[in-house]
Chains A and B, each alone.
Chain A
Amino acid sequence: MVWYERKLLAKMQVRVGPLYAGRFEGILQPIADFVKLLFKEIIVPRPADRFFFLLAPTFMMALSVSLLALIPLGPTYVIADSNVAILMIIALLSLSPLAIMIAAWASNNKYSLIGGLRALHQMTSYAIPLSLSTLGVVVLSGSFSLVSVVESQRNYWFILLQPLGAVVFFLAGLAELERVPFDVPEAETEVVMGWETEYSGINYGLIMTAAYIKFYALAVLFTVLFLGGWLGPEPVPPLAWTILKTLLVVTLMMIPRGAYPRLRIDQMLRFGWTWLLPLSLLNLVISLVEVPLLR
């Protein structure tokens, strides 16, 4: 998926992107990068808190992987189905600011701290609309379990019933992932790399992998919640439907990276609180109204 993003971005920018690693258009490039990271020395800065510094990337990996485990890719392809899957996902997503703060604080670096604080602001502000937008889906399907959410989309995909919710989820998701145009914590001209500054080698590899897994997880979640998951006409197997729809969502999420500059932090926070929050509440109200209508 990393390779897909780099190629997509390159095409948008009239470039070619990775070309040499692996026979086909540099498809082995991300693997090459990862292997390179494995070979690098693990540097823990001396003033840093060693235990928490090394804990944070592992914590993030654990979060992302757990997220993935909860999301069903097909009627029987789910690692851990749960009746309260949505609640657990919201809980897990709310833990990510904690992981970032651990990384930022343990780095013992002024710039990491500033970056970490900004990430904290961003993620907590956007976690609320994110969670609220899922509640609309819960109301419509009557259950917190993701399998039943997909099943209740047999008649209509929820994106048609809940366009507001879908949009809010999409935007809040981009903010949770610290992607452009919401990448204030990551790449400012003063804060070097933000809270990721002190991380090198495999630690950085773990953080990056965790971020991409979370990206993928949120994309699949979007598909499951709003695009009907694995539902689709018979000849194509359900798993393939999930993958196709997720690919579409992933592409949509990658395009802003090439198309938009970065938002300033106060503009971003203002956007979250003045627009996304009320819209998600409105969405909730609409879905409450829709339930008796659909009966």
Chain B
Amino acid sequence: MSELTLSVGPQHPGSGHFRLIICVDGDTITKATPDPGYVHRGIEKQAEYREYLHSIPLLERPVISDSNGSVYAYVLAVERLAGLKAPERAQYIRVLMAELNRIMSHLYWLAIYGIFLGHSTMFMWPFGDREVVIDLAQRVMGARLTYSFFVPGGVRNDLPHGFKDEALRATEFLEKRLHEYDAIFFKNPIFVERTRGVGILRHDDAIRLGVVGPTLRGSGVNADARKDEAYDVYDTFKFDVPAFPDGDCYSRALVRLEEIKQSIRIVRQALESIPEGPFRIRHPSVLKPPQGSVYSRTEAARGAYAYFIRSEGGKTPYRLKISSPSFRNLLAFQFLMKGSHLADMPTIYWSLDYWPLEADR
């Protein structure tokens, strides 16, 4: 058969609008070119017209399944720029909410992986269990997915009464479910067949291509912004950064499963040792940071999120640059899909956890 050029997307059964142009020769993919940009909304430009506080709802929209991950880095950046420091209780709350979001995002990822592989149970179970975590979030922050909860200087409100017990019960429930997931999904012979040895990204290639997040850790590089450059109170928690050396889709899936377990660990420690105190410091509502630039990074669910803000002393940032993990993983598409079966394309695509909204901003 001669070469065929397929266009996968922009509407397709995965998540978000993104086009992948694939050249197929028979059953083998010879070239895969990503074509992002369908959901580009010019968020960086819009942020230049808004005050620092007003950009927060704007900036959490790109990554709705893990909105705290993106806003966290922004809030840290603004704090460093303006010379504010959040009180300790607020830092604990922020860590708690960020980890809950990580769990939510990974469960969502697992569910959609089920759709891509044709396993409807793998779609139903994580979505159902995710509701438990979303309920917790709703109790604290009032919304299910996008919260506008993190602000420079702390968080918008305190934890409600009885939150600790609810959260602990939720973590016990999740742990039990994770055992079941391991048995039914991760040890499922067909799941293993379809993901083992597929889309292998070697250690040095992962470093060279500059990928981030579970894609990187699935290739044996255990870099994690929470450990490399501990922000807020992450340095007081004991947790591991899982990394598996194989570099195939199965390793990347395992990394995410392990990360949920580690997040549960952090949540428990945070609930035990959270101190009393204020949850927000007072500052003028219109922030006017002095002239300067700042680069901040956090570890969101999909990888390292970074913000570069340049301020010229005004009410609005002079330049806001967002470095999102999905954008940094774009190179992996070209690299990994070359030479694989056509039927492996969805498997590889989703194991990279590409979120078009986040990449396009």
User: Is there any pair of Cβ atoms, one from A and one from B, under 8 angstroms apart in the complex?
Assistant: yes
Taking beta carbons and an 8 Å cutoff, which residues of A are in contact with B?
9, 12-15, 180-181, 183, 187-190, 257-267
B181 contacts the other chain (CB 8 A): no
Of B40-48, B185-193, B222-230, B307-315, the stretch lying at the interface with chain A is B185-193
The answer to whether A264 and B341 touch across the interface, beta carbons within 8 angstroms, is yes
The answer to whether A261 and B194 touch across the interface, beta carbons within 8 angstroms, is yes
The answer to whether A189 and B12 touch across the interface, beta carbons within 8 angstroms, is yes
The answer to whether B8 and A12 touch across the interface, beta carbons within 8 angstroms, is no
Q: Give the contacting residue for A263; candidates B8, B12, B121, B194; CB below 8 A.
A: B194
The answer to whether A262 and B118 touch across the interface, beta carbons within 8 angstroms, is yes
The answer to whether A263 and B27 touch across the interface, beta carbons within 8 angstroms, is no
Smallest beta-carbon distance A240→chain B, Å: 32
Cα-based distance from A260 to B190 in the complex (angstroms): 7
Q: Residue on A with the closest CB to B119?
A: A261
Smallest beta-carbon distance A176→chain B, Å: 18
Smallest beta-carbon distance A113→chain B, Å: 13
| CB-defined contacts of B234 to chain A, threshold 8 Å | none
Q: Residue on B with the closest CB to A267?
A: B193
In the complex, the 7 A-B pairs of residues with the closest C-beta atoms, listed nearest first: A262-B118, A261-B119, A261-B117, A13-B124, A264-B343, A258-B121, A260-B190
Query: Could you list 25 examples of A-B contacts with CB < 8 Å?
Result: A9-B120, A13-B120, A13-B121, A14-B124, A14-B125, A14-B128, A181-B190, A189-B12, A189-B116, A190-B8, A190-B342, A257-B120, A258-B120, A258-B121, A259-B121, A259-B184, A261-B119, A261-B188, A262-B117, A262-B119, A263-B194, A264-B194, A264-B341, A264-B344, A265-B343
| CB-defined contacts of B346 to chain A, threshold 8 Å | 189
| CB-defined contacts of B193 to chain A, threshold 8 Å | 263-264, 267
Smallest beta-carbon distance A257→chain B, Å: 8
| CB-defined contacts of A262 to chain B, threshold 8 Å | 117-119, 190, 194
- Other CB < 8 Å A-B pairs besides A189-B14, A259-B121, A261-B122, 12 of them? A14-B125, A15-B128, A257-B120, A261-B188, A261-B190, A262-B118, A262-B190, A263-B194, A264-B341, A266-B341, A266-B343, A267-B193
Chain B 160-183 interface residues, beta-carbon cutoff 8 Å to A: none
B114 contacts the other chain (CB 8 A): yes
| CB-defined contacts of A180 to chain B, threshold 8 Å | 118
B13 contacts the other chain (CB 8 A): yes
| CB-defined contacts of A181 to chain B, threshold 8 Å | 190
A188-B343, A190-B8, A263-B194 are known contacts. Are A13 and B125 too (CB-CB below 8 A)? yes
The answer to whether B125 and A260 touch across the interface, beta carbons within 8 angstroms, is no
Smallest beta-carbon distance B122→chain A, Å: 7
Chain B 126-151 interface residues, beta-carbon cutoff 8 Å to A: 128
Chain A contact surface mostly: loop
Q: Residue on A with the closest CB to B124?
A: A13
| CB-defined contacts of A189 to chain B, threshold 8 Å | 12-14, 116, 346
B interface residue count range (under 10 / 10 to 19 / 20 to 34 / 35 or more) = 20 to 34
Q: Residue on A with the closest CB to B349?
A: A189
Smallest beta-carbon distance B242→chain A, Å: 23
| CB-defined contacts of B13 to chain A, threshold 8 Å | 189
The answer to whether A12 and B343 touch across the interface, beta carbons within 8 angstroms, is no
Smallest beta-carbon distance A97→chain B, Å: 21
B195-236: contact bitstring with A at CB < 8 Å (1 yes, 0 no)?
Answer: 000000000000000000000000000000000000000000
The answer to whether A263 and B124 touch across the interface, beta carbons within 8 angstroms, is no
| CB-defined contacts of B120 to chain A, threshold 8 Å | 9, 13, 257-258
Cα-based distance from A85 to B114 in the complex (angstroms): 41
Cα-based distance from A183 to B188 in the complex (angstroms): 17
| CB-defined contacts of A13 to chain B, threshold 8 Å | 120-121, 124-125
Smallest beta-carbon distance A203→chain B, Å: 24
The answer to whether A263 and B128 touch across the interface, beta carbons within 8 angstroms, is no
Cα-based distance from A263 to B190 in the complex (angstroms): 7
The answer to whether A15 and B119 touch across the interface, beta carbons within 8 angstroms, is no
The answer to whether B124 and A261 touch across the interface, beta carbons within 8 angstroms, is no
| CB-defined contacts of B125 to chain A, threshold 8 Å | 13-14
Q: Residue on B with the closest CB to A258?
A: B121
| CB-defined contacts of A260 to chain B, threshold 8 Å | 119, 188, 190
The answer to whether A15 and B116 touch across the interface, beta carbons within 8 angstroms, is no
| CB-defined contacts of A183 to chain B, threshold 8 Å | 118
Smallest beta-carbon distance B110→chain A, Å: 12
Smallest beta-carbon distance B133→chain A, Å: 16
Cα-based distance from A28 to B184 in the complex (angstroms): 32
Cα-based distance from A184 to B347 in the complex (angstroms): 14
A13-B120, A189-B116, A190-B8 are known contacts. Are A261 and B191 too (CB-CB below 8 A)? yes
| CB-defined contacts of A258 to chain B, threshold 8 Å | 120-121
Smallest beta-carbon distance B270→chain A, Å: 29
Cα-based distance from A14 to B13 in the complex (angstroms): 23
The answer to whether A261 and B118 touch across the interface, beta carbons within 8 angstroms, is yes
Q: Residue on A with the closest CB to B12?
A: A189
Q: Residue on A with the closest CB to B346?
A: A189
Q: Residue on A with the closest CB to B342?
A: A190
Cα-based distance from A213 to B74 in the complex (angstroms): 60
Chain B 7-42 interface residues, beta-carbon cutoff 8 Å to A: 8, 12-14, 27
Q: Residue on B with the closest CB to A14?
A: B128
Cα-based distance from A163 to B14 in the complex (angstroms): 42
Smallest beta-carbon distance B102→chain A, Å: 23
| CB-defined contacts of B6 to chain A, threshold 8 Å | 190
Cα-based distance from A13 to B13 in the complex (angstroms): 21
Q: Residue on A with the closest CB to B8?
A: A190
Q: Residue on B with the closest CB to A15?
A: B124
